[in-house]
Amino acid sequence: MKKIAFIALMLVCGLTAALAQKPAEIKFDKLTHDFGSFSEKSPVVTYTFTYTNVGEQPLVINQAVASCGCTVPEYTKAPIKPGEKGAIKVTYNGAGKFPGHFKKSITIRTNGVVEMTRLYIEGEMTEN
């Protein structure tokens, strides 16, 4: 009987210790980037959003989806260790689009405390 009680106590202690650790948590340096004005002669612009895993578990980005096909996010599939930084490179291609203001969103899904975060890019593509 003492062995069963001891094993049960060890399981409870092990689960408590595992749950006491802070899960992964993503913290971006900034959530929005404004490209400003750029010419339709050079319609492709890129920005890299940086983030840190401020949690105590490895952070995994499960998905990065842009609001349209003219915006392409690229990200590392490998887990980011606690305290380490990662990056999401976002490329906007305005070729074939009408000049003017644009604002696009990129939805990031992670295994972190906050499972979904939205990043935004915007700018003004001018004629010639």
pLDDT tens digit sequence for 41-94: 999 999 999 999 999 999 999 999 999 999 999 998 999 999 999 999 999 999
Task: Give the H/E segment covering residue 97.
Answer: none
- Kindly state the greatest CA–CA separation across the chain: 84
- Residue 13 pLDDT > 70: no
Domain boundaries, the chain: 21-126
Pick among 1.25.40.10, 2.60.40.10, 1.20.120.1200, 3.40.50.300: CATH of 21-126: 2.60.40.10
How far apart (Å, rounded) are the C-alpha atoms in residues 58 and 77?
A: 12
pTM of the model: 0.82
pLDDT tens digit sequence for 87-113: 999 999 999 999 999 999 999 999 999
